[in-house]
Amino acid sequence: MGFSAGAIAATYCLGLTGCMQQQGIKPSGSVDFTIDISQSQYSALKNVGGYIRTNDVVIAHTEQDVYVAVTQICSHQGQPQVMYRSGSNDFFCTVHGATYNVNGKGTNSFGRNGLTTYQVDVSGTQLHVH
């Protein structure tokens, strides 16, 4: 019929939300907030392996005195379903199974666009995420 491979790919892309995979999704807005892990709603962070989700950010206590913060918004299709898995010390999206290491690098095809990471400054029980 005279379609080139590029034309077929473009048609496919126009018709399916799967195109979002090719573009990646970055969270909008800046992140700059502080939490106090002595407060009960953040108590999961007191122990290594614990994590919380707040302000569209996942904060995990990955090692003694080490906290890692990444966006909760999966770069695959923009779903806010990223969580931390202490057993494998990585981040995981429950929607299609994207995986990311603690540096935000994608470790499977769904996660190939990576996750935005944030700096965490610790002062006593205060965690400043930015």
Residue numbers of the site for ligand FES (CB under 6 A)?
74, 76-77, 79, 81, 93, 95-98, 110
Minimum gap (Å) between residue 32 Cβ and ligand FES: 25
Minimum gap (Å) between residue 128 Cβ and ligand FES: 27
Minimum gap (Å) between residue 106 Cβ and ligand FES: 10
Minimum gap (Å) between residue 28 Cβ and ligand FES: 16
Would you say 38 or 108 has its CB closer to ligand FES?
108
Would you say 52 or 73 has its CB closer to ligand FES?
73
> CB of 70 within 8 A of CB of 116?
yes
- In angstroms, the Cα distances linking 89 to 10, 13, 82 are 38, 34, 13
Tell me the sheet residues that pair with 36. 126
Q: Which of 98, 126, 129, 125 is nearest to 112 (CA)?
A: 98
H/E stretch holding 73: none
Cα angle 116-49-113, degrees, rounded to a multiple of 5: 20
